[in-house]
Amino acid sequence: MLIAQITDTHIKLPGRLAYKTVDTAAMLHVCVAELQQLKQRPDLILFTGDLVDLGRPEEYEHLATILAPLQQRIIAIPGNHDERGAMRAAFRAGGYLPGEGFLHFAIDDDYPFRLIGLDTLIPGEGGGELCAERLDWLDRTLGRRPGRPTLIMMHHPPFQTGIGHMDRIGLKGAARFAEIMARHPQVELILCGHLHRTIRASVGGRPALTCPSPAHQVALDLDPDAPSAFRMEPPGFMLHWWTGAGFVSHTASIGDYPGPYPFFDAEGKLID
Ligand SMILES: [Fe+2]
Ligand SMILES: [Fe+2]
């Protein structure tokens, strides 16, 4: 089974650019076209937050028109740029978001693994939080199916990245989250967004990843006082292959690049 992860699409009203620079809608159109042309078709698409830029219902409508060509099921959790009410309404037809409260959920039996979505949103803030109520829900939910391989998706990564301005809008509650991860070894992988680039860390012994954006990327600068900045590095998405025994994750760069070139000639000799 193959999962495509898309994150931080930051869709605005038609014609508006993010930070007066990034045409996020045009870039998501390109991403959607690439997904449709993949040789191996993803079975499921996960969105890990910051779907729209200002949380407005009209932005979710714009997002839906861009995603319309995709036939796969789309499962989404909110980021700090999303708004619970507007997102709940926009994704109501998916049937997995609860009707009230936090936008967290567990999909137990639809896939060969269990899928848990978390809501790290604090309305009006850039940083995120897993408060006691959300962490208790997660601990209880994991405790119900300890033997089932589990994939967790959440927007704010539960680890320090070293990119100072992003860590300052990181996740509150990360220490207890790590302690919960250590007690639930069935968690195979934690998928995150928010960082607009690929980063890997270990959280309570479980692997955690952030994913590039199909639009702008957060600048790679590990100075704790680095200025808050983005770069137009190659946009991307991730593919997570469920092998039956675990997940293998790939980053895909969006765009036209030279190649593919063969390594070997027609006689099977290495080209040199
Ligand atoms: Fe974002
Ligand atoms: Fe974010």
**What is the per-residue DSSP string for 6-59?**
E----B-STTPPBTTTB-HHHHHHHHHHHHHH-SS--SEEEEES--BSS--HHH
Q: How far is the CA of 74 from the centre of ligand 2 (A)?
A: 19
Region 201-230 average pLDDT? 97
- Specify the pairing of strand 114-117 against strand 105-107: antiparallel
- Percent of the chain at pLDDT > 90 equals 100
Q: How far is the CA of 2 from the centre of ligand 2 (A)?
A: 25
Q: How far is the CA of 74 from the centre of ligand 1 (A)?
A: 18
Residue 210 pLDDT level (bands cut at 50, 70, 90): very high
To the nearest whole number, what is the mean pLDDT of the chain?
Answer: 98
Region 72-80 average pLDDT? 98
Residue 121 pLDDT level (bands cut at 50, 70, 90): very high
pLDDT at 94: 94
Question: DSSP class of residue 234?
Answer: P
Region 223-246 average pLDDT? 96
pLDDT in tens, 6-64: 999 999 999 999 999 999 999 999 999 999 999 999 999 999 999 999 999 999 999 99
Region 109-137 average pLDDT? 98
Residue 135 pLDDT level (bands cut at 50, 70, 90): very high
- Percent of the chain at pLDDT > 70 equals 100
Q: How far is the CA of 8 from the centre of ligand 1 (A)?
A: 4
In this structure, the number of other CB atoms found within 10 A of the CB of residue 70 comes to: 15
Residue 238 pLDDT level (bands cut at 50, 70, 90): very high
pLDDT at 206: 98
Which region holds residue 8: left if phi is over 0, alpha if psi is between -120 and 50, else beta? left
Region 220-224 average pLDDT? 96
Q: How far is the CA of 79 from the centre of ligand 1 (A)?
A: 7
Residue 112 pLDDT level (bands cut at 50, 70, 90): very high
pLDDT at 138: 98
Region 89-109 average pLDDT? 96
pLDDT at 7: 98
Q: How far is the CA of 268 from the centre of ligand 1 (A)?
A: 46
Q: How far is the CA of 189 from the centre of ligand 2 (A)?
A: 20
pLDDT at 211: 98
Region 208-233 average pLDDT? 97
Can you read off the two tokens belonging to residue 256? 């036209």
- Specify the pairing of strand 217-218 against strand 230-231: antiparallel
CA-atom Rg of the chain in angstroms = 19
72 exposed, middle or buried (CB, 10 Å; 0-12, 13-18, 19+)? middle
Helix (H, G, I), strand (E, B) or coil at 145: coil
Residue 169 pLDDT level (bands cut at 50, 70, 90): very high
